Amino acid sequence: MSVLKLLGQRIALGIFSLFAVSVIVFLAVGMLPGDIAEAMLGQSATPETVAALRTQLGMDQMPLQRFISWFGQLLQGDLGVSLANQRPIADLISTRLGNTLLLAAFAAIVSVPIALTLGILTALYRNSWFDRVMNTMALSSVSFPEFFVAYLLILLFSIKLDWLPSMSNISPDSSISEILVSSILPVITLSLVVIAQMMRMTRAALINLLASPYIEMARLKGIRPARIIFHHALPNALAPIVNVVALNLAYLVVGVVVVEVVFVYPGLGQLLVDSVAKRDIPVVQVCCLIFAMTYISLNTLADVLAIASNPRLMHPRG
């Protein structure tokens, strides 16, 4: 099977997964308890007013008709209008999505180099005190939920030490320095879990390769351990490491919801929570679809990069 065929299959699977997720998002949001029209108009609304609003929102149509209409608008680039403030959803999410991607980018810049370095070092010095300490810290970091870590950081750095703000109040007029200072605590919260996961997966990938016969031969030849890691093991471990990095980047984008809510960060996750509280269904659907599209796209990218970095697939035997 050629590389191009494998890549085509992965991309087609990603597109199909995105369509399936759009169906699930539409059905799940439609099954939320309560009536949208009654929630928007309040308890004092008359039945005639509620019926008129349901007709205006298209809630009197069959679910299949509403899905076809909604999905058709998405394909045309029309995200719809917010029910809460009658603004185009594209305007609402443009700035929020940029803030979320900026936060995820900051966390990736911090976490990826640290995680890969620690993963290589723990594999190089496995079963040493350094390896045990790093693994204990990684397990502890993964065990704590994000909101708990976030509140601990706020307690320490905002309340006790008064070094950093507890809320990430950024605006389009904020300077780079203000954005960086406001993003420090959310970035640390996101990075702790990501660093722990990537470090352990990188270590596991390298240790599996270190047990290979060609690595044993390199050791018998007297090659230094560092050279064995960087020149023999690491190039062959690129496929699983690339997979781990891509999957954790997806987590950085999708997993920001809790962090944004705790730090009141004006991103897409905060918009999603606010829209659920207001029962702004069109905004909830678009936010969920964007998160799903990001996760599926990065998963597909991880598969593609794993195939591209695998010599056995890049150079198949005839």
Tens of pLDDT, residue by residue over 48-104, are 777 776 776 666 667 777 777 777 777 777 777 777 777 788 888 887 888 888 888
Tell me the per-residue pLDDT of 153-166, one tens digit each, with 9 for 90 and over: 888 888 888 788 77
Q: Which two tokens stand for residue 77?
A: 């680039």
- CATH fold for the domain made of 89-314: MetI-like fold (1.10.3720)
Given a cut of 50, whether residue 108 has pLDDT beyond it is yes
| DSSP secondary structure code for residue 59 in this structure | T
- Determine the Cα–Cα distance for residues 202 and 223; give it in Å rounded to an integer: 22
pTM recorded for the entire structure: 0.76
**Confidence (pLDDT) at 95:** 79
- Determine the Cα–Cα distance for residues 18 and 241; give it in Å rounded to an integer: 25
- Determine the Cα–Cα distance for residues 241 and 206; give it in Å rounded to an integer: 9
Q: Which two tokens stand for residue 50?
A: 């509620």
Given a cut of 70, whether residue 1 has pLDDT beyond it is no
Contact 151, 186 (CB under 8 A): no
For 255, list phi and psi in degrees, rounded to 5: -85, 15
**Among candidates 235, 143, 147, 150, which has minimal Cα distance to 197?**
143
To which H or E segment does residue 6 belong?
A: helix 3-30
Q: Which amino acid would we find at residue 75?
A: L
Contact 130, 117 (CB under 8 A): no
